[in-house]
Structure 1
Amino acid sequence: MTRAGDELAEVCRRLVRKGTEDEAFRRGLLADPRSTVEQELGVKLPAEIEVRVIQGTQETFSLIIAPDVSPDARGGELSDEELEASAAGWPGPWGRWSIEGETRRGEGQGVDLRIIGAGLGRTGTMSLKTALEELGVGPCYHMSELRRHPEHPRAWVAASRGEPVDWKGVLRGYGATLDWPWCTYYKELMRAFPDAKVLLSVRDPEEWYESVAATVYCTFKIHRYLTHGPSPRSGPVGKESRIWGDTFSGWFEDREHAISIFERHNEEVRVHVPDDRLLVYEVGEGWGPLCEFLGVRVPVDKPFPRSNGYAAFWNLPGA
């Protein structure tokens, strides 16, 4: 990490400490994080820098100061050269830090990966993202975050080739992974994060197929049409299309084949992951099993989040 990066990390910790001790400042962070941070630092942050706060439980929250590298912010997908420059400079002076503040201790603490999501997409992963963040696990890297990190697909492609990947660097600041492409690499993540637990989200296979066919599969078909086939140079969606294609051997249209892949994946996770490290979970089960698995209290008077139905999916960033 660069000296400037160290300084920014310390700034994040200082702001989180103040947020855990000063209720008015905390309310300001939650209401308008960018203005509150700028006022506290006495500087105007560059337009390309995003400031975000994720509320966990009443005792925890995460502060993120990160470059906005989405295509909309950059005027289009990054070129391979820009991706390489971004990766080479990681984390850089305006890298990404997520600091978890806990009022129980009155000081900030860096987030490390705690939950590895092994369930395939459309098994309630967006609801789980919201739930895990509300429970204080930390920011969750879901497929919906894909366009924020156009440099990351290189790691996925490298992993698919059996090449070494610095998973701790890629996932710095995240408390959990969910959905594609992370569910494909749960074994690699288990080795990189030996203390992390594995969450296998499941669903009725027939319902799962219908849901994927009406959402994720459509986006990849559109992408394939627009790019005349997924290419390593076609940005994050193109690289994830390759992972998608590998998962189903290019035959998702064959319903029976796709469902057999889904069921085989779930069984492989059950066999590979030790029982004391695994939770097999359906979102309809609510807070109870999830909170017991995490060792946290069940939220009082807070319904379990329901997110990402068909309509919501098409409003997701990157969908």
Structure 2
Amino acid sequence: MGKEGLQVINAGYSKTGTKTMNVILTKLGYKVCDAPEAIYRHWQEWEKIANGEKPNEVLQKLFGPGNPDEYTACVDLPHNAYWELLLKQFPDAKVILVLRDENKWATSLTKHLKARIITSYIFIKLRLKYRMHNQYVMNNCPKEKLLIWRIEEGWEPICKFLGKPVPEGPLPHENRLGGVIQELANSVDYQAMVRKQTISLVLRMGIIAGVSYGWFKNLIQPHLQVEESTPFNWKMLGAAIAFLVTMRKL
């Protein structure tokens, strides 16, 4: 299916059943790009999009026909925030807006963020953002491209909207009791990021330890006073530049 490019955009807010949508779309035959893939595998691409660096070209590479990861659907952040830009790039795609009871959504989000104490002001802002996002999608997405769906409605509306046969068995329900945290820890992309950060930290510490040892053993003796007759130390300059470049790339 990857040859077709992006076909389904889940515009629903986080904590509205995005993990369930991932499983649903996967079961229907789509290759899904979820938040973990976007954050840990494609963060450089999304950074360019956020900075306005040729976003159309970047999105085509990420989700266009024949994309390397064979993505045909996307869910959760940052995709739900960029649903309109995605739809402009892929006009044949369909948009699903998942709605959830506002009180349950706000409570779930608060627990997810582990905010034991949250002010009424922040709680009201969360609700306002939730309403504004949903209303904006409903007002601006072409009606023939949009499905407004709730989990309790089951398989039929989604399958009819996407032109897929209804699978056997009940609708899956993922991320109960915040299981997404464990899923993230098991993510291949997340583990790769942790390994990269660990190697970077070890290299930084090694460089600092090496410089400190050399200084202590008088192997490194910087010129504290520069006289006119003192020759310019090109090797020292080259070492300093190499050090700075290495630190920047780690």
TM-score by length of structure 2 reads: 0.65
* Structure having the larger proportion of residues in strand: 1
> Which residue of 134, 138, 141 maps to 2:27?
134
Whichever of the two has the greater Rg, that structure is 2
Paired residues, number: 176
- Structure-1 residue corresponding to 2:76: 179
Q: Residues 271, 147 of structure 1: CA spacing in aligned structure 2 closer, same or farther, 3 A cutoff?
A: closer
- CA distance in 2 between partners of 1:175 and 1:168 (Å): 12
Q: Say if 1:252 and 1:258, in contact at 8 Å, map to a contact too.
A: no
Instruction: Provide the C-alpha distance between the structure 1 equivalents of 2:59 and 2:170, rounded to a whole number of angstroms.
Output: 33
Q: 1:189-214 CA distances to partner (integer Å, 9 max, x unpaired)?
A: 01111100111111111111111111
1:263 to 127, 131, 140: 131
- CA shift, 1:156, in A, is 2.4
1:200 equivalent among 93, 97, 115: 97
Q: Does the residue aligned with 1:306 lie in a helix, a strand or coil?
A: coil
The amino acid that maps onto 1:289 is P
Q: Distance in 1 between matches of 2:78 and 2:121?
A: 20
Q: How does 1:1-319 map to 2 (within 5 A)?
A: 100=1, 110-136=3-29, 138-146=30-38, 148-149=40-41, 152-165=42-55, 166-171=58-63, 172=67, 173-215=70-112, 217-218=113-114, 254-300=122-168, 302-318=169-185
The structure where helix makes up a greater share of residues is: 2
- Deviations 1:247-292, CA, capped at 9 Å, x for gaps: xxxx997000111001000000001101100001111111010001
The runs of 5 or more residues in structure 2 that have no matched partner are 191-250
Separation in 2 of the partners of 1:111 and 1:193?
10
Judging changes above 3 Å, is the alpha-carbon distance between structure 1 residues 145 and 310 closer, same or farther for their aligned structure 2 residues?
Answer: farther
Distance in 2 (CA, whole Å) between partners of 1:252 and 1:116 is: 32
Runs of at least 4 residues off by over 6 Å: none
Matched residues, percent identical? 29
Which structure's relative contact order is higher, taking Cα pairs within 8 Å and 6+ residues apart?
Answer: 2
CA distance, structure 2, for counterparts of residue 252 and residue 258 of structure 1? 10
CA contact (8 A) 2:7 2:73 kept: yes
Change (3 A) 1:145 1:163: closer
- The answer to whether the Cα contact below 8 Å between 1:142 and 1:180 also exists between their aligned partners in 2 is yes
Do 2:32 and 2:75's aligned partners in 1 also have CA atoms closer than 8 Å? yes
- Is contact 1:128-1:283 (8 Å) kept? no
Secondary structure of 1:116's aligned partner: strand
Q: 1:253 to 1:163 in 2, by over 3 A?
A: farther
Deviation at 1:144, TM superposition (A): 3.4
Superposition CA RMSD, Å: 2.2
Cα distance, 1:160 vs structure 2:
2.7
- What is the deviation of 1:129? 0.7
2: CA distance, partners of 1:185 / 1:131:
21
1:312 to partner: Cα distance: 1.4
Which amino acid letter does the alignment assign opposite residue 200 of structure 1? Answer: L
Letter in 2 for 1:121: S
